[in-house]
Structure formats: C-alpha cells, structure tokens
Structure 1
Amino acid sequence: MPSSGSALFSNFSATPGLTKLPMNFPVSQNPTRTNSSDKMASVVSCLRDTGIDLPGKLPWGTHFCQFYHTPDDLVDILVPYFVQGLADHELCLWVTSEPLTVNDAVAALRSRVKNLDESLQNGQIEILDYRQWYMPTGRFDVAKVLKGWEDKARQAIHRGFAGLRLSANTFWLEKNNWRDFLDYETAVDEVISRYPMLALCTYSLDRCSALEIIEVVSRHRFALIHQAGRWQKIESQEQRKIEHQLRETENNYQALFNGIGEGFALHQILPNSKDQTLNYRFLAVNPAFERFTGIKKETLLGKNVREVLDPRHALFQIYPDASSPREPRHFETYCPKYERYYELLTFYPAETQFAVLLMDITDRKLAHIALENAQALLEQRVQERTAKLVKANKELVRSNKDLEQFAYVASHDLQEPLRMVVSFVQLLERKYGDQLDEEGKKYIHFAVEGSLRMQGLIKNLLDCSQITLRGNSFKPVACENIIKAVQENLMQIIRKTHAQVTYDPLPVVPGDEEQLLQVFQNLIENAIKYRQADQTPQIHIRAEAQDKRWLFSIQDNGIGIESQYFNRIFEIFKRLHPRHKYPGNGIGLTLIKRIVDRHQGKIWITSTPGVGSTFYFTLPMSQDNPT
C-alpha cells in the first residue's frame, strides 16, 4: 500500500486534451537554466550530516582527517560519525588499527546502535582490521587500495545506499611508507571527489612530527584536533580560502534552491540487481515543490518513489526505467484538485542522480487554450461566411445567367415585331404619303426614327447578353488585323472627319476575335464621335508587355472627360451628353467592359477636358478558354 504521500500525489493526472509526449522526448533546454539546475542539484544533494557538532554538514566528496591522542578521542568522533551514516542509509566502512581494535570499535558502536548486529549482518557496515584492507598480501599496494575504494562506492550505489561513509586509522603506517602514503592520500582525494563518499582519516599525534602534521593537513579538506577541552578545526590558508568560496557558493545556490518559483526535486537512482528495474529515492525538494504537490518534504526525504507514488498515476510515468536513454525529457500534467497545469523537465545532474523541475504553467496554458478556442471559433465563422459567400456567388452567377438568357430571349423576340412595325410604317409612308399633310408626314418620320433607334438598342442589349452565352472559343488573334478591319468598317466616317488612325506594332493575343473587334471599333468610333470641332481627330494605338499581360492604350485628342465620370461611363445606360448632340444609347462602353472582363483583363480611362482621353485595357499573354 502506498503511504499518505501517494494519496496526495494522486491529485495529478494526465493533461486532458493533450497528446502525451513519449518517454524519450528530447527537450531543448535553456543552457543557463540547465547549468544552474545542475549546480543547484549538486549543492542540495551532497550536504551530509557528519553526526559531529564540528564540522556539522559536509558535501559528498569531502576528505578530512582527525588527529588524536587517546582511544577516547577516536570514539568521541568516529562513533557519532558512523551512527549518523547508518541512520542516513549510507554504506559504512571502518578500518581500525591500534589503539582501537575491531572488537573495541564494535563495542563502542553497539552502545549507541541497538540493531548493530542486524546492520553488520546485512552488510550496511563493515568493521575491518587494517591488515584486511590495506595489506591483505602483506604489503601496502596503492593501486589495489584505490580500486577497493572505487569498488565500495559503486557497490553502495548498486545496493541502493545513499553513498559510502568510511574511516581508516593510519597507526599501522611505518616511516619508510610515509612518502608513499602521502602520495596515496593525494590520489585517494581525487577518487573520493568523483563519488558520493565521505572519508575520515585518523592520525596519531604521538607518531607525527610538526612537518608531517602540515603535510597531512595540506592533503585534506581540514583536520580535527582536540585542544583546550574541545574539538577544533584547522586548515591551511589556501584550503581556508577555498572553503570560504565553497561556502559562499553553497549559500547562494541554497538560497536559489529555496527561492525559485519552480518546484525542484532531486533523487538518487537505485538500481535493482534482481529485475534490472530502477527506483528513485528523494534526496531534496524545495518549498515550491512542496507547494505544488501539497506534500511536506519530511514525508518525501529518504523515501523511495514507489513508496509515495501510485504506479498507475500519470506523475509516476516521468520516472524512466532502466532501458530508457539518459537524456532530458519533457512532460505536461494537470492537477484536478488544484485546477492547475504543470510542466515537468527531467534531467541527470550526475551519474547516480535524477532531477525533476516542476513549473506552474496554468496562466500560459489557459491563454493557449483560450487562443485555440478563439482560433477554432474564428475558423468556424470564416467557414460559415465563406459558405454563405460561395452560396451567394453561385446564386449571383445563376441570376446573371438567367438575366442574360432573359435579355437574349427578350431582345431576340422583340426584333421581329419591331421590324414589322418599321416595315409597315415605311409602307404606309410610301403608299399614302401624298395624301398626308406636313403634320402627318412628321408623325410618320418620328415613328420610323424611334423604331430604328429601338432596333439599335435591342441589338446592343442582345450583344451584351451574348458576351458570355454566345461567345466564341479563344484562339490567337492578330491585333493589327483587327485594326485594319476596324478601319474598313469605319471608312466612311474616317473619310468624312479626316480622322488619322495610327498604331505601333501590335501583338498576337488569345481571345474571341469578334469581341476584340468590337472593343477596338467601339473605342475608335467613340474617339471620332467625341472629337473637338476645330481639330482633326488623332487616334493612336499602342501595346506594352507588363508581367505576363499586354497593356493596350487608345489615345485621342477629343473633348475629354472630367475625372468624376471615369467610373460612371462604364455603367449601362449612363450618358454624359444629350442624345441630340451626341447620338447613342449608353451601352457601348458597358459592352466593352464585359468583353474585357471575359478575357480576364481590366479597363480604365485617363482624361483631361479639352485635351483628350486615353483608354487603357489589359489582356493576358496566355490563358485557357473561359467556361
């Protein structure tokens, strides 16, 4: 059964509506954050209680020593040292020598540890004679001893202990081995710094000269010595400087650890040799982690994850198994109890450590969800509007086709009765004209003129309706041939007005030849019609290539148009001048615009009254036939 901490952790669940990232999902982390987290993890995880009032807590990797006079001095330091190690679930190794034998050490420790026999039996603590550790072959082998320490440290990790706590007495050391042992102390210091180890070496003051004491102190972090009835710490000036810098760094990172807004938890990795699984023990958590999870650190520290987390729970999934690659990973989770979203980053600050960084991302997540909802709503509305526009456009196309069809049918059906009216009125004039007075002849003339004007209007309406309904397929059209045909069609008015129609070399364009002829003829005819009374009409046609389109211009020296009418002239039945002055029905330019639209072009005008006008229109250089 999980502990009470498990019930609190069960407040977390997988984030609803989110795709859970795979266990090996790599995270691109901010390098500064990662480095700070690693250092912070190092500080908060390595401080171990020595059990000794002086020095108190020390980081893993500390190698220090004790100078003693009597066996009681040894017991005074080493017994609380190992009692604390056993309580903190550390693997302990005590290497004895005179004046304290193995039996003396066991007896001294038993007085403080009730279940010492159990700890000896399960191997959490070993108490060995120096010959068993330093000289199993009868001589001191530096390399073998160093390897022995490394093997013990690995064994501690493999068996799930927090680390290795050791002490060794050097009373056995002979003078001829002194230099080798000092070299060994230097080498062992480097080994200890790489593992979760605390090492306390003990030296007899009676067997050390003043110079040798200095040499010993220089090879350890500090030394403990009993003076004036109390234990004191001595260290070299250089070591004191390093110690001060380290203490400042530790204080800074401890303050950072306690003050950051992100929750932080550090674990020791505990491999299981039986089934190759991993477990994780909580080494440190900061106040933010307590606040986010609702669990006090006293409930977590020293406990395995499996003791406080339900394996079915989503948060349990952040802990990798033995086969998972050791790389940073990223998760998101949701806590229904607190209605908060959290982001979790996991990484490995050391070979045997696993860290979790927990961030409250509720505000960001809710903003993201609101944005997604707004985007979805906007997309839905856009789709609805688009559907309405498509429907309206289809209705408009259908309506236009119906209107064009109606205009075509109406215009076509009106032509025949109108021709009959004109024919019979003209027949009436020929047969009975000599019997009519002048007033009657005037009426007959008005009837014929009005009927002919109506015929022209109906023909133009019919032409407008036929632009899309009865248009021809597109084919290459030589524009210069079109101009020549227009000149032939307008030969009579050109001669009458002495108009000069000129043009530059013109291209071949894809289009409806009949309709393009209507465009050029209407524009040229208008240029002649709206001429200035005292000037000969001058009309010039140009074409210029512009980005896959031809830009045509038809320039004249006519009466011109004021700018406020530039758009109005293309509207059907819109006239700028009275019919008696300039005959017409107001359909011609509307017809031209529809033809240009069908050819996927545009038409517009620039003009100056009293100077002339220029009509521009574009035609694509290539295009498919219109549908």
Structure 2
Amino acid sequence: MTIPLRPSGIPAVGDLPWGSHFCQFYGDREDLVDSLVPYFKAGLENNEHCLWVTSEPFGATDARTMLRNAVPDLDQRMTRGQIEIIDHHDWYMKSGGKSADEVLQGWVDRHGRALAQGYAGLRLTGNTYWLERQDWSDFVEYEARVTDTFKSHNIIGLCSYCLSRCGPRDVLDVVRNHQFALIRQAGEWELIESAPLRSAKAELHKLNAELEQRVQDRTAELQHALHMREEFLSVASHELKTPITSLQLYVESLLRANQRGTLSVDHATPKLLKAKEQCGRLENLINKMLDVSRASASEDPLPIEAEEVDLAEVARSVGEVFAEGLQRAACELRLRADQPAVGHWDRMRLEQVVTNLLSNAIKYAPGTVVELEVRSSEDRATLVVRDGGPGIPEEAQQRVFERFVQLSPKSHAGGFGLGLWIVRSIVDAHGGSIALTSKPGQGTTFQVELPSRRSA
C-alpha cells in the first residue's frame, strides 16, 4: 500500500507522511524565516489547515509579513480561516491552565474540524523560546506523548527550539521526543536522526527494494505466462484443426460416394478407419488439454487412482501398441521388462508415462535403437527409456519439462509440447522423480523412479 506523502516545503526534509512530528534547532530569526515560511507555504498550497504559534525573535506580525511575500493571497486565506498566526502570549491565554491530556485532545479536535471544513489535514508549528527552565520537565513529558497522538491523524507538527537556550542534556531530550531534528550549519539545514529511525529507514528502503524486485519478477512471470498462453492457443488451434479437417474430408468423401451410388464396403472401410484414427488423435489432444487444466488447478494436480500394478507388464503392453509406429520410424525396440515390478500406482497414468516417453523417442530419434527397461528393488521401481537420437544441449535440458516447450526443429513439429510436462506431473503425483541424461550426438535417457507406495 502506498503511503500518501505531503511536501514539507523544506528541501532538506522533502516529503513527509501524515503523523510526522519533528523539530528544528535555530540560531536566529533568519533561521526561522528560512524554514517556517516555505513550510507553511507548502501547507497552504496543498489545502491544509495551518496554525503558527510564534514567539521571540519572530513574532506574529513579522510572520504575517514574511509569509505574505511568499503567499500573495495570504489575507484571503486568513479571512476564510485556512491559517491562524498567533503569538504565544495570546495562544497561552486561550489554552493556559490545560493539562497535557486536554492540550493533546485539543489538537485532535482541531484536526477533526479541519477535515470537516474540507481541508486535507492540519499543519502546525510552535516556538518554545518562551519556555522557562522550571517548566522544562513537564514540557518534555508532553512532547513525548505528541508523536503517539499525531501518528494516527492527518497532522504534521514542527517544533522550534532556540539552540542558545538548550543545554547538552536538553538537546538529547528534544531529539529523543521527535522523529528527527533539523539544524543549520554553514547556511544549510541538516537532518539529525536517531539510531532507531535511521535503522528503520534503512530497513524500509531494503524492504521497498525487495518488494520492487518481487513485483518486477512477478510481472515478468505474468508476461511469460501470457506469452505461453498465446503460444498454446496458437498451437492448440492448429493441432485441433488438423484432425477435424481430416475427419471432415473423410465424411464428405463418403457422402459424395453415397450420393453417386458408388459407396461400397471396400471403399468405405479404409476411410472409416482413417476417420477413427483421427478421432483417436483428437481424443488424445483433448485429454492432454484436460491434464493441463487439472495439473494447473491445485497443488495436488492430477487425480491418482492407485491399485496394484506391474510396471513391467505396463511397459510390455505399451511396447506392443507401438509396434507399428516403431516400424514406420525404422526404430528397433529393445525391451527388458522380464521381472515383475509391482507397486501401488495408477495404471492409466503409468501407461501415459511410458507412451509419452516412447512417443518422444520415436519422434526425435527415428532410425535408431530405442531401449525400454524396467527394474525393481525392495521399495521402488525404475523405468528407463533410452534412444540414440541427436541428444539435447545441456542449456536446454531443464526446459524440456516445461509446458508448451518444443526444442526440436520444425520438421518434428506437432503436438502441444506437453508430453514431458505431463510425464513429470504424473511422476510427481506418485511421489517419484524423473531424471534426464543427454549429450549432443549421444542420444537421450529418461529415468523414472517410483516408490512402491506413495507417502501419505
């Protein structure tokens, strides 16, 4: 949340939040003119109700004259009650005899009236030149409570202390009771901050920097996600259109043959088989999209229906299904899954894992030997799929498990780039792990480790 800031009018101070309570140590009248005139000019120009309680060596008449030079319409502002400039003698007659509680409540009440009149808040100052030594302790206690009172209201307060009337211990009392102090040296105002305030500001600066970095990182993530979504929609529209177009052509061909009276079983059967193949492709694409939706929806993404499953038998079964595809790609499948590897898994999901890994090998390593191996140990099973393809560069290996990523040349284009991401999601859902080993020109190996039972 952004904290609203108000211009202080004093260059050394800059902008301030509401609730600020600070002080200045001045040497002479010129110091007061140099700080208080721009301080109230900024308040008046920013629709604040202002109260200036003056004292020697800069009385109310002088204050009006000097402020009028900076704010030409000061008289009109005074007439309508935006600012009151009053000498401490007259102010004391109005508030004398009041307890610290009554004085503090008076500031709060004045602040309330300012807001009710449409002002943004209350800006005030008081000069303590009039303060006598016997009243110092009581005034210090009062000042200690001012910060707590102001911090929850639209109030900014500046207290002026004459440096020649303050001893070393007095200066410490004053600095302790204000958020920071101003002192003029060599004609320039300088800030004096307490160690806790300096530490708090440094920590706030650090937190702001960290927050900005997090916002930038999150913005970059969102931009990347939007880019990936656009890519996905583009790929999805293309991939879904292909089987739909094929289906439409097959159906139209059959309808035309029927209209001509030339439709026969021999003519229809191959086209229907092709149509069925495209339906299967369409179903597969839709299932992948549903998996993406499920896996993105929660921290426990893919539903797992666990039962006793033999991973070796799953591998053999999927290998048989891929016999024709392997042949078309001129790939030789070397299957080593003779020994049972039984665990508590989701059979359909494991079929997806083996199918996607084998599809990947056939797609990117045609004409090579593809190895499919299952091993078992006491509490886990291992699935290995190895091909003799071109391999994956090291800098790209982490990306292959991301959504919508396809690292292959355009000649291999096709699909959503979701297969390996779905594999990893399924493996994660079973409490397992997947590792990739690959070097350019030396093929690629995927190794899946599955615990026999998923941890609760």
TM-score in terms of structure 2 length: 0.45
TM-score in terms of structure 1 length: 0.33
Between structure 1 and structure 2, the one with the greater Rg is 1
Q: Which has the higher helix share?
A: 2
